[in-house]
Each structure stands twice: as structure tokens, then as C-alpha cells.
Structure 1
Amino acid sequence: MRLHVTLRAPLAATAAALLVMLLPAQPAWAHAKLVKSDPAGGATVSAPLTAVTFTFNEMVKQQFSTVVVTGADGASYSDGTPKSVDKTLTQPVKPLPGGAIKVVWRTVSVDGHPIEGQFTFTNAAPAPTSAAPSSPPPATSTAPAAPSSTALTAAADPTVDDGDDRTVLWLALGGIAVVLALAGGTLWWRRRTP
């Protein structure tokens, strides 16, 4: 009976140390993911759009988000910068031309991990009556592209890599805590034994 009582304390201490060490590491394992976009990739839109909306599974950093919306004419139809509210990122757009519309997006998770993607949809809404929102790029340039990943990653947070380093750090600290708890429990048990 005494043996069971003396083993419970070190085992409980070890379990508590593991729980404390591993719980804070969980946010580093999960990065934001796109849940849906409106309009969706491949969709055909029949009503005029005023914005393209992205919904993520967690919040993203507005200051590091970019969305480029281009028509078949190569002109940009993005209107200002994207706005982030809760888990939603919204990019206002100028009146879109008919045909294929390309959307290239990039943002950063709250943990510093950059995520990006692109899709196209078809605009079948009535043609806008106003003038074109912007002039097409010169013949020597290519269609607008999202910012480079190195520039956005450096701007995001130079101390946060992509979470893998933090995961290894937490696992190493957890292993050290377990070893220390077991060593302390063993030492305590030996001193208590007559």
C-alpha cells in the first residue's frame, strides 16, 4: 500500500509537467486555412460584385494581406486594400468586366505563417456603364502579381519562422521537463524509503 502512495506523487507530477509543457505548443501546430471564398473558384456570377470575400478558420493579419483582382484585359479591379474583421478578409472591387476574373491572394496567420492562393471565376453580370477602372499595363509588362513571399515574410515578423522551430523547441522543453520530473520523483522516493 505504501509503495502505491509513494509512486502516485511522481507520476502525478510528471503528468502535470507534460500537460503544462505541451498545451502552449498547440497554437504553433495550426495555421490559418481558407474555408471558403465568395465568389467561389470556378463559379459564374450573374449579379454585379462590390467585393471578394475570404473566410478563414482563424484570424489573419490585415496589414500583411494583399488581394489582386484582374480581368481578362489585364487591368486591376481591386479597390483599395483588403479589410479583416474576425475571420473574414474582404477586398472591395471596382465594377468588373465580363468574362474570366483572376483573384490572387496572400495573407499571414496570427502565428506569422504566410498563406496564399489563387482562383478564377466568370463574371456574367451586366457590363458596367462607367469607364474602365484602370488602364491596362504597358505592352512590356506582365499582369500584376502578388508580392514576393520573401518580402511579405520578412515584413510579417522576422522572429517567427513557420512554427516548425517552435514545435521542436516545445517538444525539447517537454522532454527536459519529463526527465527532470522523473529524476526528482525518483530522488524523492529513494529518500522516503527506509
Structure 2
Amino acid sequence: MRLPATTRAALAATAAALLVMLPPARPAFAHDRLLSTDPADGASVTTPVTAVTLTFNEPVKSKFSTIVVTGADGASHAQGAPRGVDATLIQAVSALPPGPVRVAWRAVSADGHPIQGQFTFTNAAPAPTSAAASPSPTTAGAIATASSPVAARPAAGGRDSSTAVWWIVAAVVLVPAAGGGWLWSRRRRAAGG
């Protein structure tokens, strides 16, 4: 059975509208990645380190990030939670003893996926003259947090919300267009027959 010309025209218009409304294919989004650190991986620093800085290619969610800085004495020297500034995470540290320092980090990408890594540097700065502050309960909690998985979920209203908007717009435009085409063809048939 062949459809009447008006029905075919209405279907063609609906299909054309749908094609115009669909968003173009987007490339898969890669997770954020660490670009640099300060101190650099493998560096030997001769001035006291007061903070460790990690720079990423895109902003990460500092709320779910942990940075554990372990000195040669085996203690954590991270003070408080890391602070996010644009694509950078900054972790304040207490006075580090001379020797190797290990930095273990875990962050959440903008796309909601956890990323992690570690690097080391050597503290060649002279030992502090005053007694070093003992790790606070907050840094002990940071050690436990860094070793446990971070439950990360994409933020509501993220990249997938644009797809939902397109479907809603398509439904609002296409359903009335298809219904109008159907009514128009029924009336035309009724008038002609």
C-alpha cells in the first residue's frame, strides 16, 4: 500500500527536522591527566617545601581529592585538605625531614572518574631548627582516605544533560508536526473522497 503524497511529505519533514535537531557526534572525553608537579618528580630541593602543587590539563574536583605527603621519617606531612585553584591542586605541608619524600595523590576528573598516581622528590633542605610539628589528626585521616576508593559520581547537569535537552526539544517540535501532518492528510482525504 502506497502512502498518500501528503503523508509522505509530512514524514519527510519530520525526518528532516529530527536530523537537524540531533547533535553532531562528539569525540569520547578523555580523563584529566597530571601535567606537572612542584617539586618535580625526581627533583632534589634545597629550600624548605611548604606546599606540593599538582597541575592538571583540566580542573579536577578538589572536594574528592587527597594528597598524602610522606617524609623520610614515614610520617604524613600533609596539612589539611588540598585546595583547588583552576586546574591546580595545592597541598600544604609541615616541615619535611631531609631525605626522600613520597607524594601519593587521588583526584576526580571533571567527567567524574577517579585518577591517581604518585611521585617522589628528595628534600635536601637543612633540617628545621625548631621541633617539627607532629602530624595532626586531619593528616592521619587523609592517609586513610587516600588508601580507600573515592566514590565519585558525575555532577548533575553534566555533559549528558545536553542530550536530554535535545530529546525534549525534538519531542516538542516533532510530535505536533507529525500530528498536524496526519490531521491535514485526513482532512484532505475526507474533502476529496
Same fold (TM over 0.5): yes
Mapped to 2, the partners of 1:158 and 1:10 lie a distance apart of 34
Runs (4+) of structure 1 moved beyond 4 Å?
9-18
1:46 aligned residue:
46
Mapped to 2, the partners of 1:93 and 1:45 lie a distance apart of 14
Q: What TM-score, normalized by structure 2, do the two folds share?
A: 0.63
Mapped to 2, the partners of 1:41 and 1:15 lie a distance apart of 50
> Do structure 1's residue 157 and structure 2's residue 160 form an aligned pair?
no
Distance 1:57 1:12, change over 3 A: farther
Q: Which runs of structure 2 are paired with 1:135-150 in the superposition (5 Å)? A: 144=143, 146-149=146-149
- Three-state SS of the structure 2 residue aligned to 1:132 is coil
Percent of matched pairs sharing the same residue: 57
Give unpaired runs (5+ residues) of structure 2: 1-12, 136-142, 171-193
> Do structure 1's residue 89 and structure 2's residue 92 form an aligned pair?
no
> What residue identity is the alignment partner of 1:81?
A
2:116 aligned residue:
116
Q: Is the Cα–Cα contact under 8 Å of residues 66 and 105 in structure 1 kept in the other structure?
A: yes
What's the offset of the Cα at 1:148?
Answer: 1.6
Give unpaired runs (5+ residues) of structure 1: 1-8, 136-143, 178-194
Q: Is the Cα–Cα contact under 8 Å of residues 76 and 134 in structure 1 kept in the other structure?
A: no
> What residue identity is the alignment partner of 1:148?
S
Q: What TM-score, normalized by structure 1, do the two folds share?
A: 0.63
Mapped to 1, the partners of 2:110 and 2:147 lie a distance apart of 19
Mapped to 2, the partners of 1:60 and 1:111 lie a distance apart of 9
- Three-state SS of the structure 2 residue aligned to 1:110 is coil
1:181 aligned residue:
none
Mapped to 1, the partners of 2:42 and 2:14 lie a distance apart of 58
Q: CA RMSD in A?
A: 3.4
Mapped to 2, the partners of 1:158 and 1:110 lie a distance apart of 8
What's the offset of the Cα at 1:12?
Answer: 7.8
Superposed CA deviations along residues 14-61 of structure 1, whole A, max 9, x for unmatched, are 87456x1424xx4x6221110100011111111111100000010111
**In terms of Rg, which structure is larger?**
2
Mapped to 2, the partners of 1:47 and 1:59 lie a distance apart of 28
State the aligned residue count: 148
Superposed CA deviations along residues 125-154 of structure 1, whole A, max 9, x for unmatched, are 11112223326xxxxxxxx462322xx12x
Distance 1:36 1:11, change over 3 A: farther
Q: Is the Cα–Cα contact under 8 Å of residues 111 and 154 in structure 2 kept in the other structure?
A: no
Superposed CA deviations along residues 85-117 of structure 1, whole A, max 9, x for unmatched, are 110100001111100001000010121110000
Mapped to 1, the partners of 2:62 and 2:84 lie a distance apart of 5
> What residue identity is the alignment partner of 1:87?
A
> Do structure 1's residue 103 and structure 2's residue 99 form an aligned pair?
no
